[in-house]
Amino acid sequence: MKLLKFYPITLALAVLLLFAPAQSTAQSGPSPVKAEVLNGIDVLKKDAFASLQGKKIGLLTNQTGRDKEGNSTIDLLFNAPGVELKVLFAPEHGIRGDKDQAVIEDGKDAKTGLPIYSLYGKNRKPSPEQLAGLDALVFDIQDIGCRFYTYISSMSHAMQAAAEANIEFIVLDRINPINGRDVEGPVQIDKSTFVGIHPIALRHGMTIGELALMFNQECGYHARLTVVEIQGWKRKMWQDQTDIPWVNTSPNMRSLWEATLYPGIGLLEFTPIATGRGTTIPFELLGAPYIKSEKLAARLSQYGVKNIDFTPFTFTPTERQFANEPCNGLRFNVLNRDKLRIMDVGIALAQILHQDYPDAYSLKNLNTLLLHTPTMEAIRRGDSLSQIHSLWAPELKDFKKRRAAYLLYR
């Protein structure tokens, strides 16, 4: 009788567990007490916008440009006494972060009436005409700590344009959500592109303000650069260990866990694989119609990647590669984010897929985001992870030395 009585409840719980979103069991998870942190916009507001007083400014921002209370940087600067906001610039995904398309056109902000110039259309850099009459160009966008996330490229182009126009470039710094301590992956050695603007590690461990200092010096921009520094943040902190709320940084970057996985899983996006775009949990999934899920899980286990769990999973994406096709693959769950080396997971997956599915999977476009040809060749040869790490070592050592000169926080 007891079995008959309780079996339906047990079955219901099993169903709920089966379809519930994966939760990280990271041993170094969120602190019970969150650090009080002020991003650059919060500091600027606290100081009554003193550094912008009497200036005509442009603003490069998107939906992530907001203070802790959720007020838009656009609105804050537009209404700030003594500050004259004249023009807006938008990066990839647009001023509201809701566009996922190849070209974004100029427009007008409905609330303020200000012109919006797209830096993800025919131009990737503000023109002299767009900057005419300005005293300063302000940048306020949340990065996620990965080299091929294009907001840092937009910042670099905008800073160069500001230098050429002889106006100030002011960065409202923001935390690195996946911490500012850990550095991973190869340093870019191939030609600079919009998804690889500067020779930095794939997971660079820097804030947007620190990157601005590096780019300004190493690219020779000589911009009149000011970084409004963060207050209360330490390099070891992940975003959920602070009181800074998460804001989706792009249409498919919806959580801190996805940002944690992105440098490794997102690395494969230009190869014949689905990375969860077009599902509710992008970058927590990877698969394709040609994959055998159980075999892929077993093969990845053999590589010895640690601090991450992966289980066979079938999903049907609604966009990008294999849209509307059932894809067999894996679902990932971070076990210990402080010890996880997500680049090893991405490299191991690329090598396994290349070896096991040579007719369906191609490495041809992996270097689009990797931008390190020796690693591509090593994956093709079947080199071990330790051999691949040794390829990265000289440039990574040099990058860490260069990086140290620009770090603003401990």
CB atoms within 10 A of CB 44: 25
Backbone angles phi, psi at 90, to 5 degrees: -125, 140
Amino acid at 387: Q
Closest of 184, 171, 181, 202 to residue 372, by C-alpha: 202
**40-245, what's its fold?**
Rossmann fold (3.40.50)
pLDDT of residue 98: 78
Structure token digits, residue 376: 């591509």
pLDDT of residue 383: 97
Contacts of 211 (CB under 8 A, 6+ apart): 143, 152, 155, 198, 200, 204, 406
Instruction: Confirm if 320 and 61 have CB atoms less than 8 A apart.
Output: no
Domain residue spans of the chain? 40-245, 256-371
CATH number, span 256-371: 3.90.1150.140
- Across the beta sheet with 115-118, what order do the strands follow? 107-108, 115-118, 83-90, 55-61, 136-140, 168-172, 224-228
d(C-alpha 192, C-alpha 199), whole Å: 8
pLDDT of residue 109: 93
pLDDT of residue 94: 87
Closest of 204, 203, 208 to residue 229, by C-alpha: 208
Whole-structure pTM value: 0.91
Instruction: Confirm if 375 and 347 have CB atoms less than 8 A apart.
Output: yes
Closest of 87, 86, 84, 83 to residue 117, by C-alpha: 87
Mean pLDDT, consecutive 10-residue stretches, the chain (410 aa), reads: 31 34 47 90 98 98 97 97 98 85 89 95 95 98 98 98 98 98 97 97 98 98 98 98 97 96 98 97 98 98 95 96 97 98 98 98 97 97 96 97 98
